[in-house]
Amino acid sequence: MPTSGLVAGVDSSTQATKVVVVDPADGQVVREARRPHPEGTEVDPRAWWSALEEALGEVGTDDVAAIAVAGQQHGMVLCDEGGEPVRDALLWNDTRSAAAAGDLIAELGGPQAWADAVGTVPVASITATKLRWTARNEPEVADRARSVLLPHDWLTRKLRGDGAGPVTDRGDASGTGYWSPHEERYRPDLLELAFGRTPDLPRVAAPGEALGRGEGVAEGLVVGPGTGDNMGAALALGAAPGELIVSIGTSGTVFASTEEPTADPTGLVAGFADARGRYLPLVCTLNAARVLGVGAALLGVDPDGFDELALAAEPGAGGLVLVPYLEGERTPDRPAATGTLTGLTGANGTRENLARATVEGMLCGLAAGVDALADVGVHGDRVLLIGGGSRSRAVTAIAPAVLGMGVEVLAPAEYVALGAARQAAWARPGEAPVWRTAPDAVVAAQAAARAAATAVRAAYAAAAA
C-alpha cells in the first residue's frame, strides 16, 4: 500500500455506478465495485446516490485519500433550494426535446450562431434543449427549480455534504449548451433563451482543483471536481497527437484531445472542453454496442457465435446494408429514425451476411465521425479502441478497414472511472499522473481491406441518406 494513500474514481454511467480504487503511483486497480442503475431515459438521481453509497461501502475507503466522479454528460437535474431534485433527471438519451432543439437553433439565428457561441449545435441530448422542453411542457416544475446541475455535479455535491455549494468542471459544463469553451464562461443569454430565466448554476472549478473534504461515505476524503464521462476516459488515456479515441459502449463516440476549440456548424462535431484545460471535439452516436446485441439476438447466438458468423462473410456482406438507427440517432440528428436493412436478395440473405452487415453498419456510423473530425481539422493516424464493443473479435478485425487506419485495441478497463481516479490523484494536490495503457493488440489496416471498405462505406452512405 502506498504511503500517500489510494484514490477512488467513480463512473456514474447510464447503466451503472462503477468505483475503482487505484494506486496513484501506477494506476493499478486495487479493488472495484459495481451497482446497477434503473433503466429508462429519466431517473431519480437518488438512485445514483444509493448505488454510489453501496459501491463505496463495498470497496471501503479507510485507505483512500481522494475521490472524484465522472458522470454521464448532458443529463438535467433540476433542484429546489435545498438541492433536492424537483423531478426525475432527464438523461442524455431522452429524445423528447428534439423539437425544442430545432426551435432554439432557429431562435438564435441558425447552426453557425450556436457553433460560434458554444461550439455545439443543439440536439435532443444537450441540456439546454431539456430546459426548454421543461419550461414549455412542465411549467410548474420549472417554477420550482432553483438550480440546474449535471449528474456528476449532483453526486459531487452529495459527497461533500448537503451544505456544500454546487461545483462543476469545464469539460462537463461544455456539454450544456450554455457554457462556452471559446470564452471559458457561462452564457446566461442562452440559458435565458432556453429556460426563460437564469437559475443558479454550479461554479466551474479549475482543472485538478481540490474542493475540500467529503462527508458521510466520503468522510475526510479530498474531493476532486469531477467531469463528464468522455472527458474522464480521455483523462485516463492521455491520448497523444494523431490518436483518435473510439469508444463502443451504450453510445459510440469518436474524439481527440486538441489545443484549440472547434466550431462545427453542421452539428456533427460537438466542440467540448476537456478536463485538463484543453479541448475535446467529439462525435457521438446513440447506437453502438447495443446494435451488436440486437444482431446476436436476431440470429439466436451468443457473442462468440455472432463474431464467427460475421467473420465468415466477405466484406460488404454481399450488398446487405444495415443502417442501425435502432433508438433514433443523435449523429446525424434523427431522433425519430428507426433501423433499416437494405439490399436484401435471395443470394445474400444468409446469417453470415446479416452478422457482417450489423458490424459494418455500426462501424460506418463511427467512421462518419472520423470524417467529421477531419472536416474541422482534427486528423488522426491511428485509433485507440475502447468500450464493451471492442471485445468483439469481429469488430476489432473489421474496424481498421472501415475506419481507414490502424487500430490499437486497449485492454478492457473502466476507463471513465480510471480518469476520475486520475483527477482525484491530481487534486491531492499535484500534477495529474500519466497511466499509459499498453494495447492488447495492434491491428493494421491493409490496403486491400481499405479498398473493400470504400465500397462498404459508399453503400452505407447511400442507404443512410
Q: List residues with catalytic annotation.
A: 229
DSSP 187: -
Contact 345, 361 (CB under 8 A): no
DSSP SS3 for 465: coil
Q: What is the CA radius of gyration of the chain?
A: 21
Q: What whole-number distance in Å separates Cα of residue 51 and Cα of residue 64?
A: 19
User: Using CA atoms, how far apart are residues 114 and 34, in angstroms rounded to an integer?
Assistant: 38
* SS3 state at 386: strand
- Secondary structure class of 105 (helix, strand, coil): helix
Return the DSSP state at 85. B
* Phi, psi angle pair for 409, to nearest 5°: -90, 115
> At residue 426, what is the residue type?
W
Q: How deeply is 44 buried, as exposed, middle or buried, from its count of CB atoms within 10 A (0-12, 13-18, 19+)?
A: middle
Q: Three-state SS for 100? A: helix
Residues 6+ apart with CB under 8 A from 460: 321, 323, 360, 361, 364
Non-local (6+) Cβ contacts of 189 within 8 A are none
For 277, the grid coordinates are 484545460
Torsion of CA 403, 407, 413, 419, to 10 degrees: -80
- Among 86, 66, 65, CA closest to 77: 86
